[in-house]
Structure 1
Amino acid sequence: MSDIVRPAQREAGGFLRGVGCAFKGLGWVARHPRWWLFGLIPALIAFVLYAFALVWLGTHAGDVAKWATPFADGWGWRDVFRTLVGILIFVAGLALAVLTYAAVTLAIGEPFYEKLSEKVEEDLGGLPAAVDAPFWRSLMRSIRDSLITLGYVLLFTIPLFVLGFVPVIGQTVVPVLGAIVSGFFLSVELTALPLERRGIGRKERFALLRGEKGATLGFGVLLFLAFMIPLVAVVLMPAAVAGAAILVRERLAPPQEV
């Protein structure tokens, strides 16, 4: 029994530490308001783009649902069914927006968030021996890795979207699994900067995050749920970047292991 309990306790403790890293990031930007404002610029640009996309999806969700369910044309309750499908489509679009928002914002604000992340590490005792790479090479690598991560996200979210139509399971189990999957991949995106600074590639980053699932999920799930609230993603983005740097230093690649 202890062989089962101890790993569970470790993961639970890691989860709480991951949550703690998110709050530490929030505390850091609260103590450094100039850096918080600095990090808001790309977050606001990305928010405007996503706001237009979500407004369009919200006003056309019914048309998309009708296009996606031609088999329901002869159903007596097709309007109710398509309304539910439209709601699910919008919710799925919102969840996908939350997942990709961090990646797009990081791509737009690469120089901003690189400086912010470096400042956090300086305050925590110094930077690791950074791996130098030209800006455009770093940007293209970031875009490539984000697209690969998005592919993994879709592998999970598409089946979960389909399961969302199943009574009871779709309203209970699926949202929980969706938050877990989304939280993990949100952590993947946010920790990319401090891990790349250490010369750790995409495959190695995934391995580190899987090895610290508790902390990874504690950090990512909390932020994912917070990002679901309108405008919160914009306000919290600088704190999320700061928290990711703290998560890497404390749990994923402590200084003594670098």
Structure 2
Amino acid sequence: MAARVLTETRAGITLAFSGARAWVRTPRLLVMGAVPSIVTAVIVGVLLGVLLINVGEIGRAIASGVGVDGGTLADVVAATAAIAVLAASTLVSVALFATVTLAIGQPFFEAISRRVDDSLGGLEHPAPEEPWHRALVRGAGESVVTVAISIGVSLGLLAVGLVPVVGSPTAFVLGALVGGRLLAIELTAYPLARRGIVSRHERIAALRPLRTRTVVFGACVFLTFLLPLGAVVAMPAAMVGATMLARQVTSPSASAGSGLPGLRLEGGTHGVDRGVDE
């Protein structure tokens, strides 16, 4: 059991790094994928900026709400609460960033996913594409579900974060794991749709056999998103890893490292321009 967990953990990390390798080999394609990330990063950045400006007041309000007013203890509780609020808000901000970026950058991320599949042998029987209006409505509904789940979980993480000393680190780790799973479910939407796995419920069921691999991959992406400009750089690279994860989920013969050494996303008859236009 422990050996399998270690193997799956290593596989998840490998998937995350596969996107970084793709950046080195095909920067032009992934730069295009970074464009919608920049737009969303500005929006989310403004929201986080407002939170940072007011987080001190929020912490003091929470301290007052639990009956601690004045003195050193009140300062400690307020500081702990402020840190807990920031830790909990990361989950919501990452979920919001991912869902909005995937929505506005759909053509770019679809092109990246197609190129990954093509470079690794293509799909023998790709599923018919969902009509755009139906995909738009379904995607919007799934995005609302993802953000709603992240808000609910973040409230629980806020409560955990209020526990002195160990609360904030524990909340952060739990947030990365839960956020990683939510990210993986969102990122695999298009790659799995090409394989006939369309709804969110179907994706969750398809990813379940590789749960540890999925969570570790998503958690690596989640942590990268927290770095300065990390979300902008990592989003298109994450689509590379998500497409490879979709291949592994639907093809038992695919391994965590299959195709990585020769992965090429440019060239051939299906270049990025064609991928975006299709």
TM-score bracket relative to the smaller structure: 0.7 to 0.9
Mapped to 2, the partners of 1:172 and 1:27 lie a distance apart of 30
In 2 relative to 1, CA 66–228 (structure 1 residues): closer, same or farther, beyond 3 Å? same
The answer for the alignment partner of 1:238 in structure 2 is 236
CA gap 1:144/1:195 in 2 versus in 1, 3 angstroms: same
- Check whether the contact 2:36–2:104 (CA below 8 A) recurs between aligned residues: yes
Q: 1:192 aligns with which of 189, 192, 201?
A: 189
Secondary structure of 1:212's aligned partner: helix
Question: Which residue is 1:26 aligned to?
Answer: 20
State yes or no: 1:164 paired with 2:161.
Answer: yes
Contact 1:13 1:214 in 2 (8 A): no
Higher-RCO chain (CA-CA 8 Å, sequence separation at least 6): 1
Does residue 98 (structure 1) correspond to residue 100 (structure 2)? The answer is no
Q: Distance in 2 between the 1:99 and 1:134 partners?
A: 25
Counterpart-to-counterpart distance in 2, 1:117 and 1:255 = 19
Q: Distance in 2 between matches of 1:107 and 1:228?
A: 20
Q: Which residue of 2 aligns with 1:134?
A: 131
Partner of residue 8 from structure 1, selected from 2, 9, 15: 2
> Do 1:15 and 1:218's aligned partners in 2 also have CA atoms closer than 8 Å?
yes
Q: What is the CA distance between 1:53 and its match in structure 2?
A: 0.8
Q: Structure 1 length as normaliser, TM-score?
A: 0.87
2-structure distance, mates of 1:29, 1:216:
21
Distance 1:135 1:220, change over 3 A: same
Q: What SS is found at the alignment partner of 1:9?
A: helix
Which residue does the alignment assign to 1:47?
Answer: 41
Secondary structure of residue in 1 paired with 2:227:
coil
CA contact (8 A) 2:80 2:161 kept: no
> Greater helix share, 1 or 2?
1
**Are the aligned partners of 1:195 and 1:248 in contact in 2 as well (CA < 8 Å)?**
yes
2:175 counterpart of 1:175: no
Over residues 160-212 of structure 1, what are the superposed CA-to-partner deviations in whole Å (9 max), with x where a residue is unaligned?
A: 22011112441443332222111111111111111122221211211222221
- Do the aligned residues in 1 keep the contact of 2:161 with 2:169 (CA within 8 Å)? no
For 1:4, the equivalent position in structure 2 comes to none
Q: What amino acid is the match of 2:99?
A: A
Residues 41-79 of structure 1: CA deviation (Å, up to 9, x unaligned): 101101111111111111111233344454346443434
Question: What number of residue pairs does the alignment pair up?
Answer: 250
Distance 1:169 1:74, change over 3 A: closer
What is the Cα deviation at residue 23 of structure 1? 1.3
Gaps in structure 1 of 5+ consecutive residues = 1-6
User: Which region of structure 1 is more displaced relative to structure 2, 167-176 or 35-44?
Assistant: 167-176
1:10-58 superposed Cα distances (whole Å, 9 cap, x missing partner): 2221121111111112212321111111101101101111111111111
Measured against aligned partners, the alpha-carbon deviations of 1:65-94 in whole angstroms (never above 9, x if no partner) come to 344454346443434422332232223223
- Aligned mate of 2:202, from 190, 196, 204: 204
Percent identity, aligned pairs only? Answer: 37
1:152 Cα deviation from its structure 2 partner: 2.9
Superposed CA RMSD in Å reads 2.2
